[in-house]
Structure 1
Amino acid sequence: MRRIAAASFVSAVFLTGCHSHYIQTTITNHSGADINVVQVEYPGATFGTQRIANGNSFHYRFKLLGTGDLKLTWTDASYQDHTLKGPHLNEGQEGTLVIEFPSQSQVTFQPGLKP
């Protein structure tokens, strides 16, 4: 009887699975030149890349470990540093975040997040 109960419990765990909340981020450069030293600060950590060539994208998946604003920093082709405040993020959110560079000094954020 115990074996049947244990097998049922294990089966239930595998069927329902565990769900981890994460945000899939894509940073795309349509600026006409390379974007350098791109860094994204979010509640609990940071990520980034050294370079995103024009027409290319960088993908990263992260989990929020707190609540706060996203901050984006980058260096343009003229070696000018930029900083921009992004969307407010809440711990436990999941979904997608698209960050696009339409020019060397402009950024758009398209969050597709749910609580």
Structure 2
Amino acid sequence: MVHYQTRLDATFAALSDVTRRGVLEQLWGSDASVTDLAQRFHMTLTGMKKHVSVLEQAGLVITEKIGRVRTCKLGPRRLEEEAAWIEQHRQLWSARFDALDKIVEDLNRKEKANARSKRK
């Protein structure tokens, strides 16, 4: 369970940043060097290296250094566990909202019935 939680935490932390999500979108199209990514996102090389490091730790990106160029590409990790976690919680909240809808409907019906009986 601890490994599962740690992995979820790392993935959601990596995905919580707009720049890192943007990097993933760029890499869906094609591999890119860290320098290219830094230029595309108008940031320093050091800043981009930090973002890439977070994505690497989550297993979402892998890098390879050839000579002086570090190239990034999407990692082999899929997001099945994360999607399952989200779906489980979506179902829970959906059931809760459905129950809340029924309560509101019942209250509205009772309120209308009380209003009709007061008019008579």
Please give the TM-score of this superposition, normalised by the length of structure 2.
Answer: 0.20
Higher percent of residues as strand = 1
Tell me which of the two structures has the higher relative contact order, counting C-alpha pairs closer than 8 angstroms and 6 or more residues apart: 1
Return the index of the structure with the highest Cα Rg. Answer: 2
More helix by share: 2
* TM-score normalised by length of structure 1: 0.21
